[in-house]
Structure 1
Amino acid sequence: MNDVMDRIWGFIEAFLNNAVVFLDTTLTPLEILGPGVVIFVLAFLVVIFTRIIAQFYVTQRSVTLEKEFRHWQGIREEAMKHPDREKGKALAKNVDQAELNKAYYDYFFEGMLKHFIVNVLPILLMVSYVTTVYTPQTLLQRFGERWIFSFSLGSSSQVNVSSMLWLVICFVLSFILVAVLKMVFKKRYAPKIFV
């Protein structure tokens, strides 16, 4: 079993190393614009990627669990419609204890796993990439400064924006920008598509 896990980890490590080399090669021309622009482009692309994948990645298990949950939820609602209110509550409680709770938790955990795979994992991989590639030492070597941005707020205080802080800001801005673009797209093009 250990040999199998070692081989799997070896494939994952090789894939991630090749992905880092590919990203470095692809982003080298953009570094003329500075590390802030490169990190923003990366964050925006990851957000676009997660939104697209979230739309299309649906497991068969998720569909089955949703149908099962809706089925038991409908049975529970029918039980609550019983003319005898107390008997309806008892029937609904039995449905809850027998099947609905299990179906709900299975469906919930499947959705949480999908969210982790589709949203959290790509963001964590990008955080790992940026914090590894754009360290203060690397920034000093490549761009001549240890920080993404540096500005002063007064005579004695200076604010230094690290690559990690800038990445978080870029993710927030990217999610907002994608939401705005989605609203504009729906307003402008959706009525024309469906007419």
Structure 2
Amino acid sequence: MDELLDIVWFKILAGVQYGKELLDILFSPLNLLGPAMAILLIAAVTVVCTRFLTKNIKTRRYRELQKEFLHWYNLRQEALNCEDPDKGKLLAKNIDQGKLNRVYYDYFFEGLMLSFLTKYIPILTVLAYVNEAYRRENLMALFGRDYIFRYGGNNGDPVLVGSVFWFVLSILIVYLAWSGLSKMIRRYLPNQKPPVASLPSAPA
């Protein structure tokens, strides 16, 4: 058993090393732009990839739960629009207790698992790569300094911004820029097909 675990562990380490070498090949040309711009572009590529994965990877169970959730959700809305408000509320409550709550939690959990698979795991993987590829020793060897940005220093100790902090900040910047650009496109190009609205509180 121990030998099997050792074999699996060494294969995992080899896979991680091959993955890092592949990312080095892909991203090393960006170093010509400097560490800040390189990490910003890596973050942009990461966001684009996660958006693509989130949009295109849906399990069959997720689609089935989505369809079932919409069915019961629409029935509940119809019940609330009943001419008799008391009867409508009672019907909606019965739908919640009978089907909607269970379907919603299954649907929510499946969407959460998909989010981890298509968004958070890729981001954390690239974060680990950035932490390794742009650690202080590598920054010094590649760029002649062991930080990304430096603030202050005239009347006190300077504040040094490292690779991990800058990557996380870059991810936020790219997501905000993506959201702002999408809103501008929808505003100034009204003939564009509107994106599919997200279902209530369901991660995907």
Shorter chain as denominator, the TM-score bin is 0.7 to 0.9
For the 8 Å contact 2:27–2:42, the answer to whether it is kept is: no
Q: Which runs of 5+ in 1 are unaligned?
A: none
Q: Does 1:104 align with 2:100?
A: no
For the 8 Å contact 1:79–1:88, the answer to whether it is kept is: yes
Q: Which runs of 5+ in 2 are unaligned?
A: 195-204
Give the distance between the partners of 2:9 and 2:82, measured in 1 at CA. Answer: 56
Deviations 1:138-195 (A, max 9, x none): 212322211112232642241211111111121111112222343455566673899x
User: Relative to structure 2, which stretch is displaced further, 45-54 or 12-21?
Assistant: 12-21
Give the distance between the partners of 1:71 and 1:9, measured in 2 at CA. Answer: 46
Give the distance between the partners of 2:184 and 2:121, measured in 1 at CA. Answer: 28
Q: CA RMSD in A?
A: 3.2
Q: Give the helix-richer structure, 1 or 2.
A: 1
Give the distance between the partners of 1:92 and 1:8, measured in 2 at CA. Answer: 52
Q: Does 1:158 align with 2:155?
A: no
Give the distance between the partners of 1:33 and 1:76, measured in 2 at CA. Answer: 55
Deviations 1:106-126 (A, max 9, x none): 111111112211211111111
For the 8 Å contact 1:72–1:100, the answer to whether it is kept is: yes
Give the distance between the partners of 2:97 and 2:6, measured in 1 at CA. Answer: 42
**What corresponds to 1:70 in structure 2?**
70
Q: TM-score when scaled to structure 2?
A: 0.77
Q: Does 1:175 align with 2:175?
A: yes
Give the distance between the partners of 1:8 and 1:62, measured in 2 at CA. Answer: 31
Give the distance between the partners of 2:193 and 2:72, measured in 1 at CA. Answer: 37
User: Relative to structure 2, which stretch is displaced further, 137-146 or 148-157?
Assistant: 148-157
Residue identity matched to 1:38: A
> What is the number of residues matched between the two proteins?
194
Q: TM-score when scaled to structure 1?
A: 0.81
Identity value in percent: 34
